[in-house]
Structure 1
Amino acid sequence: MVKAFNSIYISRFEEGAARPGGRRILFVSGDDGAAKKVVSELIESFGFAVVDLGDLKHGGRLQQTGNPLAGRDFLVAD
C-alpha cells in the first residue's frame, strides 16, 4: 500500500503540476519500496514532483488532515 494524492486539495490537483516558478509536489509514503517506485513514476508522468516521506507509520501521518503537510501547496523549482 502506498499513501499518495491525498495531501493536495483536488482543486489544486486539477490546476495541474506546473506553476510559475516550479512544479507542485505530491508526497508518497509506504512500506514497500517497489510499490512506492511505481506510484512515484505515475505521479511524475503527470508532471508533478515527488517527495518520499518514508514509511506509512511516520510519513503517512504527516499527510493526514490536521498535520503539517495536509492541504499545503508546495513547489519545487525547475
Structure 2
Amino acid sequence: MTPLEDARCYGGITSFRLSGKNSIEENKALAEKLIMDHNIFTVHRVGLNSGSCIRVTPNVYNSTDDIDAFIHAIKAIAG
C-alpha cells in the first residue's frame, strides 16, 4: 500500500491486502491463517479509506529467510 510513484515513501512497516480482499472479515482471516499455518505474526488494521488491510512490521532481527518465508506464505495463500 506504499505508493510506488514516490521513492521517498518507504519504511520498515508496510500494509497490504490480497487483490479484492478488503473486508474486515477477510483480512482477519488472513492474519489468522498466517499465524496458524505459517507462524507469521501480522496485525489486522481497519479504518483506511480503501478498506481493511494487514500490517507487516519486519525488524532488525528478521533474516532474509524470514522475509522469504513470508513471501512464500502469501503466494501460497493467494494461489
After TM superposition, the score normalised by the length of structure 1 is 0.32
Bigger Cα Rg: 2
Bigger relative contact order, structure 1 or 2 (CA pairs below 8 A, ≥6 apart):
1
After TM superposition, the score normalised by the length of structure 2 is 0.32
**Richer in strand (by share):** 1
